[in-house]
Every structure is written in C-alpha cells, then in structure tokens.
Amino acid sequence: MTSPIRTERHGDVLVIISDNPPVNALGAAVRQGLEAGIKEAQGDSAVKAVVIRCDGKTFFAGADITEFGKPMQEPALPVLVDMIEACDKPVVAAIHGTALGGGCEVALGCHYRIAVPSAKLGFPEVKLGLLPGAGGTQRAPRIAGVPLALEMTAKGNPISAKKAKDAGLVDRLAGEDSLVEDALAFANEMIGKTPLPRASMMDAKPDPQAVEEFKKKNARRFRGFDAPAANIACVVKATEVPFEEGIQFERQEFMKLMMGVQSAAQRHIFFAERKAAKIDDVPDDIQKRDIKRVGVIGAGTMGGGISMNFLSAGIPVTIVEMNQEALDRGTGVMRKNYENTAAKGRITQDQVEQAMGLLNPTLDFDALGECDLIIEAVYENMDVKKDIFGRLDKIAKKGAILASNTSYLDINEIAASTSRPEDVLGMHFFSPANVMKLLEVVRGDKTAKDVLATVMALAKKIRKVAVVAGVCHGFIGNRMLMPRQVEAQKLLMEGATPEQIDKVHVEFGMPMGPFQMSDLAGVDIGWHRDESRIESIRDALCAEGRWGQKKKAGFYDYDDKRNPSPSPRVAEIIEDFRKKTGAEQHEVTEQEIVERTLYPMVNEGAKILEEGKAQRASDIDVVWIYGYGWPVYRGGPMFWADTVGLKTIVEGLEKHGFDVAPLLKQKAEKGERFN
C-alpha cells in the first residue's frame, strides 16, 4: 500500500505532505509517514527546515477515531509529536481547513505555525468524551495561557486563525490562496534561528481564579459529563508540575476516559450522526432536485421556525398565511428572534436584514407555485392537511417536493390526496424549529428516492441532523415517547409523585422529566376539551385550567419567573384519583421508575426496528439525542440498553408485565447488542 505521506524538496526545505482523505486523520500510516519524514529531515544535512502540510480540504482533523479501542500501532501520536518538537531544524505547520484534536497537537509540536485566515484550530476531544492526549493539554496553556486552554479543551469549540494568532497559537497568517508559498518563505526565514521555540520548555502561568470562574460559569453545561473535569484537571496540572509529569497525568486521564462508557457513547454518536445521513437503498450519487425557493404554509411558531432555517442558509422562502394579522404576527416573531440573536452578538444586524430580505410573506396560496419545496406547517388535523395537499397538487410546479411537518399523522394518506405521491414526504421539525437540530424525514410508501435524497442533502445545508423514519404513529421519537408518558401516569396512580419521577429523569441526564415536559409543551395538547369528562389525572388538570407553564399551573405551580414548585392541589387531584380507582399503592423506587419509564422506550425502539420504521438502531439514538436531549454521554436509548445489558432490560420489562418486542428478546437470548 502506498503511504499517504510524501516529501518534496524545495531548496533547503523538506516539505512533508499528507494526503489522507477525507479529513487527513492521523491513522497509523500517516503517523508512520510523518515519522519517516522527520527522520529524513534529521538525517540529511542539506535539509535546513521542514514544513508539514496537508492536501485536500483540511490539515489533520485529529487522531483516527476508528482506531480507538484497537491495538495501537507505532508510533503513538504523543511520541510522534515529541519527535517533531525535538527536531533540531525548524518545523513549520502550514494550516488550512481545521486543525483539530491530534492535528492541533501536531501543530503545537511544530516550532512555528502559519495558517490561512479561514482556518480553524481546536480540541474537540471533549465532545468525544476525551481530552487531547498527545500533549495538547500541556502545550496549549503554555503557549496560550490557562483561560483559552480551558475554553478550547473543556468546551471543545474551535477558534479562528485570527484568534489563534492573537493568542500565540499561530505565528503568522498566510494569504488565503498562497499557504504553500508563504509557509516555504516562513521556513526559509527561520533557518538558523536559535533557540527553536518548543512549547514543552515554556512555563504555564497558574490562574486559579480563571479556573474557578470557568468551572462556575459552565457547571450546567458540564452536568453529568466526565470529560470536561478531566480536561480542566490536565490544564491546571500544566501550571503545577514539570512538562513530563504533566504529560504522564494527561496520559493517565486520557486512558481513563478512553476506557469509560461515556467516551464510547459519544464516539458512537459521532459515527451514528454521519451514518444517519445514508439511506440504505439510495445511492449517494443519485441526482438530486434543485431547491432554489422554499414555501412554508403557516406562519405560526412551527412555520416561522422552519422558515428561519432556510433564510439563515440563504435560501428564499415564501410563507403563506390565511389572514394578514397572523402573517404579520408570524413574521414579527421571526424578526424578533433574529434580533435577539444579533443582540447576543451571534449574528450582525446586516445578517438579520439579509435573512429577512429573503422572506416573501403573502396571503396568496398560488404564490407557492414558484417553490421547489413546500412545507405544510398547519395544525394537526388530517382533513385540513389533505385539503391543503389537494390544493397544492393543483398549483405546485412539476417536480416540486411537497412535505408535511406533521408529528404523528399518516404521510401515505396525505400523499394520496395528491396525484403525485412520489413527491410527498414528511419533514418533522422539532420545536423550536430554528434551534433544535433534529429533522425526522418521513418516507412514504411511494416517496421517490431522489426526493428523499434531496431532502437529506438539504437538511445538511440547513445544519440539521436528519434521520429517515417510516410511516407509523409518532414516527421514531414521539412513538417512543408515548409508552414513557403512559407509564409515568400509571406510576402516579401507584404512589409516585411527579417530582420524584422527574428527578429520576433529570438525574439520568435528561433536560427535564415527563411532567416538566408536559408542563412546558402544554398539558392540554391533545386534550378532548370536555371539562365534564374526567378520565385521567391529566383530564382533571386540564378541566381546572392547569394547562402548564403558560397558565402558571400544570403538574407544578409556577411563579412569575416560571420557577416550578410542587403543587398541593395536584397532590390532592392525584390522591382523589387513587381513591376513585382503588389503585394499589406501593413504595415506588428510583429503579422501578427507570425500569418502567426507560425500558419501555427501548422496547418500543426494538419494535420500530423490527417493523423497519428506522433503518438502524443508531438512527434511533440520534433522534433521541438531537430531538429530546437524551444525554449524549449515554449514547441514546438503544446504546444505553446495550450498556445496561439487553438481558437485564428484558427481565425488567417482563417483571412489570410488558409485552416484550421479539427482536429485543432474540438479541438478549443470543447475547447480542443493538449497536
């Protein structure tokens, strides 16, 4: 096999070039090639300086994650980085694209760094449940100081080349199109300059106040995760002990994380997210349809949020409402959302105007005729939706894609109200649609492959994580939510409190529990609205106007700032119901809550899989991570079930009298996993 690394001589400079698509990950062959390159430079007196650069779209984007958990091939990355730093000829890293993780560590091992202005540098390891394990936690604070090193390692967001230059992580900015020449010139300039700047020889200044502030400020964000604290500890260590000792500490912490469940879960999600974009029976290179203008029907919360995704991506939107007041209200909310984002400094006022300038608000339904994709976002009613699709069929241009944002309804039935069911699918956005990353793309029986592929590609463009779902009630996410909500209600009847159940879910790592979620979404959603018909605790709450946060009363009482407190009235209602139904009471334990609210979700996930409504178990995990805030360090419900053990899950379900999905049972019997 040919090496992904080649070298070129340019006068006195040896250029070591990596060509390892797609992202120049630092796999064994790359590391071996780099080692050979450095040895070549060391061993040849004609070489006076070295440049390390990459072909393709990016500088090294990190260690090769696919090698993790497998036997390590020499040289290990930390050894290689030390070797680069120890080279007695100046080594220049020439950076474009993203120098991430191990790639950034290679760059910091070099004596000098030059980058194009569009480049980014970062340590995203924490997002994989890890820390920079090739000296990054020790070199970064030495070069850039503790506060930036903390930001970069413990939060994992990359920084711009300009910011890196201000912090000393980059020495020079190259021309956007002249990196190779500029890097060579830089290397030539550095020939003979001594001593060579080596990060390992520098001191890292302690900054205990910055560390405390950083921890405090990010406590919420880091809740439940192991890796941020380990990153912080390593950076602090760099200020306390000599470099070699710090490296040993970093190694030990890295290995602990690497062997742990959290990193396995986070790495699983990294690949799951990318796999979700692939549709088993649709070739990647299928011809996609051109989407130049999007139409949205309905300017309510959903329609407005959906539109913003396209506007932000520079795609014009025609938004249609029934009356001027609703249209004005909807567009007003969109503008306000953009302006709030601008006030936080995340976008400029110009960008607000640019986005809003792409919006065409209208009352004229026929204006949708010019759109290439039309998304219906009106309320959940089959007859209304069928009527809209029937009308769309008459005015939409040939080849336009017709999508419904329904969260539950049958896409096949909606498609059948048109003469072109092959152009119809579901695009289920999650609220708030301009923020939540998940998009369930619902494939109808007749949806054409190119329609599906077009929408999946478009999802990436508007920065959504898209997952293909089959037609069934609630698709993947909401379908799995249902058994959880049902069981949570039953537990109330048997002696648990809403607070107790929610607490178990929050401690598990969910952003909120079933009752907090119900209060936020609206307890009255889907309620029959007959105040005299009280068949459940929820009916009783609704009949009293306890519709959730919006009414300052739901399963909890709320103050003016929407802070919840347990509600004595709800306790009374529950008690009343317990008496009325004669439900048997018992002490409900945390374990029982887990077994009865989380295990049934896994069971439903297994049913979804065996019915072919999800392509793969990892897709289900992606849905729950990005749509419902399942803690990423638990890898999604199906991955979590693997870590609990499918046998344990089956036993738990059977103990509580659930009907166990055959697929789950089979897997448990064979000792298999979902992922």
98 CA to centre of own chain: 18
Angle, helices 227-238 vs 136-144, to 10°: value is 60
Does the annotation count 487 as an active-site position?
no
Minimum CB–partner distance for residue 112 and ligand 3H9 (Å): 21
Least distance in angstroms from the C-beta of 169 to ligand 3H9: 15
CB of 124 to ligand 3H9, least distance (A): 4
Assigned token pair, 140: 């970064």
Strands 112-115 and 172-173: parallel
**Among 391, 398, 316, which Cα is nearest to 358's?**
316
Is residue 147 reached through a cis peptide bond, with omega within 30 degrees of 0 on the bond before it? no
CB distance 238 to 141 below 8 Å: yes
User: What is the widest separation between alpha-carbon atoms in the chain?
Assistant: 93
If we measure between CA atoms, which residue out of 569, 521, 524, 515 comes closest to residue 547?
A: 524
Helix segments in 555-658, DSSP class H = 568-581, 590-593, 599-610, 617-628, 637-644, 646-655
The catalytic residue among 67, 85, 105, 651 is 105
d(CA 56, CA 62): 15
Residue 407 DSSP SS3: coil
| Encoded tokens for 342 | 């601008």
d(CA 199, CA 213) in angstroms, rounded, equals: 26
d(CA 365, CA 362): 8
Cα–Cα distance for residue pair 368/294, rounded to 1 Å: 8
Closest separation in Å from C-beta 30 to ligand 3H9 = 11
Give residues with Cβ within 8 angstroms of 656, minimum separation 6.
592, 595, 596, 599
Return the residue matching tokens 């549709």: 279
Q: How far is the CB of 529 from ligand 3H9 (least distance, A)?
A: 46
Identity of residue 229: A
Nearest approach, Cβ of 28 to ligand 3H9 (angstroms)?
Answer: 12
Active site residue 422: no
- What letter represents residue 459's amino acid? A
Judged by the rule CB under 6 A, the positions of this chain that interact with ligand 3H9 are 22-23, 25, 58, 61-66, 77, 98, 100-102, 105, 124-125, 128, 130, 132-134, 136, 271, 274
CB of 472 to ligand 3H9, least distance (A): 27
Residue 370, both tokens = 């010019």
Three-class SS state of 58: coil
- The one catalytic residue among 85, 125, 273, 604: 125
Enumerate the active-site residues.
Answer: 105, 125
